Every structure is written in C-alpha cells, then in structure tokens.
A and B are shown apart, each in its own frame.
Chain A
Amino acid sequence: MGVPLYRDDAIVLRTQKLGEADRIVTLLTRRHGRVRAVAKGVRRTGSKFGARVEPFMHVDLQLHTSAVESGSGLDIVTQAETLAPYGETIAADYGRYTAGTAVLETAERLTAEEREPSLRLFLLTVGALRSLADGEHVPTLALDAFILRALAISGYEPVLDSCARCDQPGAHRAFVVAAGGVVCAEHRPPGAPIVATETLRLMSALMSGDWPSADAAEPKTQREASGVIAAYLQWHLERGLRSLRLVERS
C-alpha cells in the first residue's frame, strides 16, 4: 500500500449509520472513483464535519487508508471542507430531492467497481446536482438528461436516428431497450412499444444539451421520455433502482 493519506474532492452519494455515532459514507471522488469511508462521530453534537458529509454535498476531503480497516475496504475521513452545499437547496424542495436521489443512486450503480476512476461521470454528477440546486430545469428533466448521458459514458448511448439493428437511417419509432434504441419496421419485435416522435426528439435534446427545446417539451412528452429512459436504465442494471419509483413526477 502506498501513502495512507490522500486528498480528493467528492460528491457524497449515500450515508449509512454505523455503530453509535459514526456513518459510512459512499463517495464519488474525482480521481479515485467510488470510495466508501467511515466518518467518525458525525452523528454527535459538535461534530466538526457532520453537515459536510451529507448526501449531495460536494466536499474536499482528506482520507486515510487505514491498515486496520482496509480489510473492510473502508477508508477514514480525516478532514472535510464544503465546496458546494447542494444538499441544502435540494432538500428544501421535494421534487428536487427525489430526482437528486435518483441521480446519486444512478451514479453509484454505474460505478460497478470501487476505486475505478471515472472523471466524466464525476463531472456529470456535479453538473446535474448544480443544475438541480439552481432549479434551472424541471427536476425530472435534469434527472433524465443525467441518466442518458451517464449511460452514454458507460457505453450505452441509445441509438435514436437509425435502426439499432441494421443502421438504416430514419425516424423509427419502436424503442427496444434490448436493441439499444429505435428499430426499423423489419426489426421491430412484436409488441415493441411505439413512442411519439416528440419523445424521441426530447431524448435527443437531453443527450445533446439542447435545453431550450427540452424545457419547451409538453408534460405528456416529458412523461413518455421518462418512462423510456427509466426502462432503458433498468435494463442495463442488474437490479432496479430503488429511488426511481419514488421520484416525484408532476
């Protein structure tokens, strides 16, 4: 093992109670990938960094790879400074809170291995939380954009402008999650759902960051896109996302 002490900045993805007053925090770090660490005493009065290691917070951390606890894969948080307190504004709005939680769970689940750096996913997560905290867009749109781009980073960018099976270009409207996008009439399995052209257009806008078009989409279109995106995400994960069914949809 190298230097036991290291520094990195991170988004707090999840916290769990540990023993009397500690927490295990799951972090998405900029340079070290997903890391789990113990934050000692953070549930007690007067803890130095209790509020800083809460979900959604962007923090600058000093972590210690403890020889004693390394068997459990847990580092120890020795210092934490707030870089951006996204949690405060996100928790003050229930829609943002539920969409934000789904962002965190998606980020956690798409980092299959601990300590495997993914700078792009880290930056995407920071961006999504900042957008939610600022209230730039409808929370569910911010979530859907995040899911699509996070899947693209993981190599699962959905094909929207040609058949995912035979590459035939065109405005196909049958979305088949197992195929990885839309398919032509010939490759459409029986019963495959047909989605509206506006829905596919919205998904493209979310992928490319065309926010003026995305923000202007009808609620009906947003709902259908959310459904397709959720199904597509769930298909790529072994287990379903717990938070997704609790996302508040207007």
Chain B
Amino acid sequence: MYEGPVQDLIDELGRLPGVGPKSAQRIAFHLLAADPADVRRLVTALTEVKDKVRFCTICGNVAEEEQCRVCRDPRRDLAVICVVEEPKDVVAIERTREFRGRYHVLGGAISPIEGVGPDDLRIRELMTRLADGTVTELILATDPNLEGEATATYIARLVKEMDLKVTRLASGLPVGGDLEYADEVTLGRAFEGRRAYS
C-alpha cells in the first residue's frame, strides 16, 4: 500500500485488461518518474479517445464521426459484409488489403458461460443491414477459436433462408487463436481461400 494518489493510480491501472498488480505498480512508478510533458500527452490521448471516438452507426467500428472511415469510403463494395468480433479485427483485415467490402463489428462472441448471448451482440443490427438485399456475400471472420466458430454457426443458421452467399475464412488460420494475431500473409490467404458455409 502506498500514499493516496499513487495507490489510486495503481488501483486504476490494475483494472485494465491484462494488467496484474505487479505490472500496475511498475507502470505507476514509470509514470511517476516520467517527463511531465509525456504524461500530459497520455492524459490528452485518454481524454480525446473518450470525447471524440464513437462507434460507427452503420457497422459498429470505432469512428471519429457518425460513420467510420470504411463506411464513408465510396469506393468500398456495398455488396459484401465481413463480420468480425472487435474493431481491432477490422484493423488486422485492413492491413491485408485483400478486402474491399464493408464490415460489421459484433462487439464480441457468443459466450453463454460469460452470460453473453446473441442479444448482447450487434446481431439484430446485422440482420437490419441484410434486409434490403444490397448485400450478396457475408464473410464470417469471427475468431478462429471455439466461441468464434459457435458465433459463426449461429449467424449462418440465421441467414440460411436469405439469398446470400455465406463464407467463412479458410482454415490455415491458427485455430484457437485471436484474429488480430494472424500475420498479413496468413490472413490474406484466408480471405482468398474462404469457403462457402455448409
């Protein structure tokens, strides 16, 4: 236990994902010793991210305006939607430059053991986007792990009766892994080799 403000900082840092008590302490003391200008930049970045960044009203990706950069881009193909779990997956797929359609960010995967069901994700919004028939292909790019598979299974069944080509990223992705950790080449190949959902 440390003096008030230091302990407060350690407590706050310790609430971040992946930061244990030891790391929280290390970061706190790093900040304490850091140049005040550096710390102010961090404070500004934190404030701005909460003030300025929102979620795209179309796809759920992070956006600085009403809509995200991808949805605002007129060159993107409106006929294809790639479904991902998190905004960071959009970044990973954009890096491959293989995909020219738009995205739909679910906000996670279906995980009953964590109490997360279909209604807790942006699945209803996806169905609304599919309703007018503009979209002809749906690529399910949820994480290549068990919860991602189950989420893809659920969505594929939901749209089964629609006149829609549903594909899943080709295997070759590390099974069990997170999409964001796939390198560009592997992820790019997975896009090229995507297969129709049975």
A residues adjacent to B (C-beta < 8 A): 14, 17-21, 42-47, 49-56, 87-88, 91-94, 97-98, 101-102, 104-105, 242-243, 245-247
Contacts and interface: CB of A to CB of B under 8 A. Distances in A.
Interface stretch (B33-41, B62-70, B109-117): B109-117
A47 B150 contact: no
Contacts of A19: 18, 20
Nearest to B187: A45
Contacts of A105: 112-113
B176 interface: yes
A246 B117 contact: yes
Interface of B: 17-18, 20, 110-115, 117, 145-147, 149-150, 153-154, 157, 174-178, 181-183, 186
B112 A43 contact: no
Contact of A54 (B110, B117, B146): B146
Nearest to A21: B181
A51 B176 contact: yes
Contact of A94 (B145, B146, B153): B153
Given A45-B182, A53-B176, A54-B176, A87 B113 contact: no
Contacts of B114: 242
B150 A51 contact: no
Given A54-B146, A98-B112, 9 more contacts: A19-B20, A42-B176, A45-B183, A50-B175, A50-B176, A93-B153, A101-B112, A102-B112, A246-B115
A14 B146 CA distance: 11
B3 to A, nearest CB: 26
